[in-house]
């Protein structure tokens, strides 16, 4: 089980280019995550609402990255989550509070997210 704002590194073999993804837990019950990506989102609105984080702000990053606050990921295979949770090196701890606040600010300004998803971020 993960708490909100905890991060795990999950291998996603089902992606176009299979690789590890940093997954921020938003709702364990719904298995909602936000991704930390190495590049900003392509879509203009998503790019405007993305949170840029520097490598020195989050201990496991090796370069500046982006948290997509528009796309809630709900398709991480359960067995991949379980594998990640069993490997200590893939359980990366919680995001720093100042990064969480930046995510919340962008989620609050996002008119396209429904109330249920916004509540998951704030409650």
Has residue 70 been placed in a domain? yes
Question: In CATH, what number is assigned to the domain containing residue 47?
Answer: 2.30.30
Alpha-carbon gap, residue 21 to 38, rounded angstroms? 10
Cross-sheet strand order for the sheet of 19-27: 51-53, 65-67, 32-37, 19-27, 6-12, 91-94
> What band does 90 get if pLDDT is binned at 50, 70 and 90?
very high
Evaluate if residue 15 carries a pLDDT over 90.
Answer: no
pLDDT of res. 37: 95
Has residue 15 been placed in a domain? yes
Confidence (pTM): 0.95
Has residue 50 been placed in a domain? yes
Has residue 67 been placed in a domain? yes
Evaluate if residue 123 carries a pLDDT over 90.
Answer: no
Has residue 108 been placed in a domain? yes
Q: Which two tokens stand for residue 30?
A: 């719904």
pLDDT tens track for 26-47: 999 999 999 999 999 999 989 9
Range of the domain at 40: 6-122
Which H or E element spans position 16? none
Has residue 59 been placed in a domain? yes
Number of domains the chain contains: 1
Has residue 1 been placed in a domain? no
């Amino acid at each position: 089980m993960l708490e909100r704002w905890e991060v795990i590194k999950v291998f996603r073999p089902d992606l176009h280019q299979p690789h590890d993804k940093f997954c921020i837990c938003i709702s364990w019950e719904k298995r909602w995550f936000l991704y930390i990506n190495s590049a900003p989102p392509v879509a203009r609105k998503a790019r405007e609402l993305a949170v840029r984080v520097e490598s020195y702000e989050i201990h496991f990053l090796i370069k500046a990255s982006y948290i997509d606050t528009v796309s809630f990921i709900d398709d991480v295979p359960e067995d991949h989550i379980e594998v990640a949770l069993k490997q200590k090196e893939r359980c990366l701890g919680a995001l720093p509070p100042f990064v969480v606040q930046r995510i919340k600010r962008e989620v609050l300004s996002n008119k396209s997210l429904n109330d249920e998803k916004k509540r998951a971020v704030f409650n």
